[in-house]
């Protein structure tokens, strides 16, 4: 049977039903439907423009991004955009042209007054290469040109001028629910204060970089113990990566390990493969006392998948990698965790100390290893 009779039937479908059909179609199908008749174009435009994802890696991506930016200068199109993702990881031979594309998108941002979700993954060489984009974002946030619900940015956008960024962020806190940054921000940097203040204002703060091994850093240190289950539930809604999650937690003190892991297990009990714990220690009293019994009780909640645990220490000025505990303490912790059900556990480390499991003739040994340089 030819396609023409079918097309004539498509043209007679009423507008409200057209929208319901478009919701279940992929983007290519929606575009074909819009070609059928003007009524389809009017109905399906929200489905076409509500979510825009632009990847800028090669020359063809650059041309597509520039064309999209020009389209978004049209008011009837720009007001439809709710979610914009710009993934700029250009090859070396397209660095210059990618900057042209980013400049065009920079102009288009000013017209996206209905934007709620903005995500930028930019890998240009320095801040100077894309300085216009963070400047525009800060200005539009401050003037409330749009009201964001989620914001994902490179860490340098936050740390480059923390005070200016937070003044812009404050204007969005009525609606902003989640702030995600890619790349590390550590204690002592300007961006750390921004993250803390945003979290204290009720925003969920995360660090996530898909191009860096999909490890997710969460910051329960910024929220009260009572709010930690809510915090991890929000993290779960954000994370859509591999099922074997590599997660690092920033924790205020060693004595908070058990309660934090209990809150985490409500959402992530079966997903954690690699667990990192950043423990805050006082500058003037840096003693680390890991209670093997309590920590093992926390780790056993993730026994189905947990393979390695990495403890690190930090204070308000920096990461503090020089602190140690006696090796037998780590061995006791590993043995207790395995005895209580963490049968897949292979390694535990604290800063520069590391012990690994070795199975020989039916017996399990924990061997101290040199940490990699």
Q: What is the pLDDT of residues 242-252, one digit of tens each?
A: 777 889 999 98
d(CA 22, CA 264): 38
- Out of 22-31, 57-66, 159-168, 276-285, which region has the weakest mean confidence (pLDDT)? 276-285
β-pairing, 204-208 vs 178-182, is: parallel
The number of C-alpha atoms within 13 Å of 353 and in the hemisphere containing its C-beta is 18
CB neighbourhood size of 287 (10 A) = 9
pTM as predicted: 0.82
d(CA 139, CA 154): 17
Q: pLDDT averaged over the chain?
A: 81
CA dist 373 → 80, 343, 370 (Å) = 51, 28, 9
pLDDT of residue 1: 41
pLDDT of 135 over the 60 cut? yes
pLDDT of 96 over the 90 cut? no
- On whether the CB atoms of residues 90 and 118 are closer than 8 A, the answer is no
Write down the domain spans for the chain.
1-49, 50-186, 213-311+328-373
Mention every residue, 6+ apart, whose C-beta is less than 8 A from residue 169: 141, 176, 179, 194, 198
Percentage of the residues of the chain whose pLDDT score is greater than 90: 25
Show the tokens assigned to 331: 């061995």
d(CA 268, CA 235): 10
d(CA 198, CA 148): 14
d(CA 125, CA 90): 10
Region 253-279: mean pLDDT is 89
pLDDT of 326 over the 50 cut? yes
Q: Which residue, among 336, 335, 327, 328, has the nearest Cα to 357 in the 3D structure?
A: 335
> Is 50-186 a domain of CATH 3.80.10?
yes
Q: Which residue, among 135, 139, 134, 171, has the nearest Cα to 153 in the 3D structure?
A: 134
pLDDT of 261 over the 90 cut? yes
pLDDT of residue 120: 85
Q: What angle do CA 353, 355, 357 make, to 5 degrees?
A: 170
- On whether the CB atoms of residues 304 and 270 are closer than 8 A, the answer is yes
- Out of 14-18, 232-236, 324-328, which region has the weakest mean confidence (pLDDT)? 14-18
Query: 21 falls in which pLDDT band (50, 70, 90)?
Result: confident
Angle between helices 27-36 and 38-49 (to 10 degrees): 160
Show the tokens assigned to 71: 């389209």
């Amino acid at each position: 049977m030819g396609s023409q009779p079918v097309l004539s039937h498509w043209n007679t479908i009423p507008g409200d039903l057209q929208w319901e059909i478009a919701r279940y179609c992929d983007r290519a199908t929606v575009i074909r439907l819009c070609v059928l008749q003007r009524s389809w174009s009017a109905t399906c435009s929200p489905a076409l423009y509500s979510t825009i994802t632009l990847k800028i890696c090669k020359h063809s991506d650059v041309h597509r991004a520039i064309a999209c930016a020009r389209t978004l200068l049209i008011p009837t199109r720009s007001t439809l955009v709710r979610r914009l993702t710009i993934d700029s990881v250009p090859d070396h031979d397209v660095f210059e042209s990618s900057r042209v594309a980013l400049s065009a998108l920079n102009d288009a941002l000013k017209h996206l007054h209905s934007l709620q979700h903005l995500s930028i993954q930019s890998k240009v060489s320095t801040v100077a290469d894309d300085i216009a984009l963070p400047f525009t974002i800060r200005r539009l946030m401050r003037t409330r040109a749009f009201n964001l619900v989620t914001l994902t940015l490179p860490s340098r956008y936050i740390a480059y001028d923390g005070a200016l960024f937070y003044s812009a962020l404050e204007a969005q806190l009525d609606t902003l629910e989640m702030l995600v940054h890619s790349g590390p921000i550590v204690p002592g940097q300007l961006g750390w204060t921004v993250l803390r203040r945003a979290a204290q204002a009720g925003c969920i703060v995360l660090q996530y970089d898909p191009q860096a091994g999909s490890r997710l850093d969460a910051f329960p240190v910024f929220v009260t113990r009572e709010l930690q289950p809510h915090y991890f539930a929000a993290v779960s809604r954000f994370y859509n990566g591999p099922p074997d999650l590599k997660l690092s937690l920033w924790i205020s003190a060693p004595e908070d390990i058990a309660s934090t892991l209990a809150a985490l297990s409500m959402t992530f009990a079966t997903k954690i493969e690699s667990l990192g714990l950043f423990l805050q220690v006082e500058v003037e009293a840096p003693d680390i006392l890991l209670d093997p019994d309590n920590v093992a009780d926390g780790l056993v909640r993730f026994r189905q998948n947990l393979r390695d645990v990495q403890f690190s220490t930090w204070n308000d000025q920096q990461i503090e990698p020089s602190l140690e505990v006696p090796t037998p303490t780590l061995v006791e912790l590993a043995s207790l965790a395995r005895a209580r059900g963490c049968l897949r556990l292979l390694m535990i480390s604290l800063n520069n100390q590391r012990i690994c499991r070795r199975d020989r003739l039916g017996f399990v040994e924990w061997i101290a290893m040199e940490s990699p340089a």
